[in-house]
Amino acid sequence: MSRPLRTICLLALATACGPSATRNAPAGDSAAAAGATASDTGAPAQGTRTIGLPQSRAAHPDTNPPANVSHGEAPIGAPGARPPVPAALAPRDPGRLHRVRLEMSHTTIEIAPGKRYAAWTFGGQVPGPVLRVRQGDTVDFTLVNKAAIPHSLDFHAAEIAPDKYYRNLMPNDSISYRFVARVPGAFMYHCGTAPVALHIANGMYGAFIVDPAAARPAAKEFVLVQSEFYLTPKPDPQGTYSIDWNRMLGLAPDHVVFNGRASQYAEHPLEVRPNELVRMYVVNAGPNRISSFHVVGGIFSQVFEDGATTTPLRGVQTVNVPVGGGAIFETRLREAGEYPFVTHAFADATKGAVGVLRAAEPGSAPAGPAAGQH
């Protein structure tokens, strides 16, 4: 498609898919935004370029975006933004026995610029650490509860009895066990303590990658965990938000994010090279919203649903990642440029489930902090 025509199509889609939120800004937002950057307020920071409509609580979206607007709902390359949570998938430890120790604790995280959230975590971070093993490897696992309430952990990558191993741990309790990761894929792990939606919505999830016994081809690899945050109307006196249970039950997230923070990979694009094989492991932690994963300007050469190795989809545009599931997406970006990746459920992209793959030859663009490795 020629560039002028492509621009027109993107404009049309951006307009059609603009935000339509009717909930007004929580009163606490103004306090939280006291030190906010321009990106908080929806106005492009100086020197940045907006590729989407600003996230807004306005009753009606802006239907007259500037000419350079396309998909995506956040400024690209906002200067001064916090470093992103690394999206590069680290290489696997070559050993066949993996000793993993996770502590569960409560801490404050940042889920959007200037917006702090009282999270429940694995390893003090949201998402929890990415775990990666090879099919047939043994995981020697220890879980410790450093929080003041019961928690637990459910590995979707394991085939073991939940009543034995996924039981609630009281504060300061721990459990150790081993299992064999028999099935390759992109799996979720999460706290399974009731109510599970509360524990997941508060941040207790992560990705567990099991590589097939026959290695996949070398690629630039990223891991993206999609999830949602449901906020109280106002933060507490320390400026920290916590979960609004009724908004969670009403399926009305304030932020839908990749790797725990809204729009972070729009601010800090993921760097790739034109035509190199890009592999994205996408896990959808939810707790509620299906991810319709799509790369603007790209077509997936292969998608392995849940990581199944035998029956990849070929030549597809968008594939759903169910809540509690995962998929492995492969593509090659055919020319230099910035390619947004989104959930094509665009209300959720508006709320932060958007990022950018920047395809550039080495030396032709500044190296991004999230540049990956394989």
Binding site for Cu ion (CB under 5 A): 151, 154, 191, 193, 199, 204
| Residue with token string 């524990």 | 199
The minimum distance between CB 204 and Cu ion, in angstroms, equals: 5
Is residue 37 a contact partner of residue 113, using CB atoms and an 8 Å limit? yes
What is the end-to-end Cα distance of the chain in Å, rounded?
A: 32
| Residue with token string 């459910």 | 154
Is residue 68 a contact partner of residue 49, using CB atoms and an 8 Å limit? yes
Amino acid at 3: R
Q: Is the Cβ of residue 56 or residue 193 nearer to Cu ion in the bound state?
A: 193
Q: Is the Cβ of residue 154 or residue 330 nearer to Cu ion in the bound state?
A: 154
- In sign, the C-alpha dihedral spanning 338, 342, 348, 354 is negative
Task: Residue 333: count other Cβ atoms within 10 Å of its Cβ.
Answer: 21
Among candidates 115, 112, 89, 87, which has minimal Cα distance to 31?
Answer: 115
CA 273 to chain centre: 22
The minimum distance between CB 242 and Cu ion, in angstroms, equals: 14
Q: Is the Cβ of residue 80 or residue 322 nearer to Cu ion in the bound state?
A: 322
Q: How far apart are CA 183 and CA 90, in angstroms?
A: 20
The minimum distance between CB 96 and Cu ion, in angstroms, equals: 26
| C-beta nearest to Cu ion: residue | 191
The minimum distance between CB 284 and Cu ion, in angstroms, equals: 11
Please give the structure tokens belonging to residue 58. Answer: 């306005």
Is residue 112 a contact partner of residue 255, using CB atoms and an 8 Å limit? yes
The minimum distance between CB 107 and Cu ion, in angstroms, equals: 13
Q: Is the Cβ of residue 42 or residue 206 nearer to Cu ion in the bound state?
A: 206
Q: How far apart are CA 65 and CA 146, in angstroms?
A: 48
Is residue 162 a contact partner of residue 240, using CB atoms and an 8 Å limit? no
Among candidates 56, 44, 45, 111, which has minimal Cα distance to 84?
Answer: 111
Amino acid at 100: V
Q: Is the Cβ of residue 134 or residue 199 nearer to Cu ion in the bound state?
A: 199
Q: Is the Cβ of residue 154 or residue 271 nearer to Cu ion in the bound state?
A: 154
The minimum distance between CB 49 and Cu ion, in angstroms, equals: 39
The minimum distance between CB 78 and Cu ion, in angstroms, equals: 33
Q: Is the Cβ of residue 157 or residue 319 nearer to Cu ion in the bound state?
A: 157
Among candidates 351, 354, 352, which has minimal Cα distance to 23?
Answer: 351
Q: Is the Cβ of residue 154 or residue 267 nearer to Cu ion in the bound state?
A: 154
The minimum distance between CB 87 and Cu ion, in angstroms, equals: 23
Q: What is the dihedral of CA 329, 334, 336, 338, to 10 degrees?
A: -40
Q: Is the Cβ of residue 37 or residue 291 nearer to Cu ion in the bound state?
A: 291
Task: Residue 38: count other Cβ atoms within 10 Å of its Cβ.
Answer: 17
> Measuring CA to CA, how many Å separate 38 from each of 51, 54, 71, 199, 213?
15, 10, 20, 32, 48
Q: Is the Cβ of residue 19 or residue 192 nearer to Cu ion in the bound state?
A: 192
The minimum distance between CB 120 and Cu ion, in angstroms, equals: 6
The minimum distance between CB 154 and Cu ion, in angstroms, equals: 5
Q: What is the dihedral of CA 329, 335, 339, 343, to 10 degrees?
A: -30
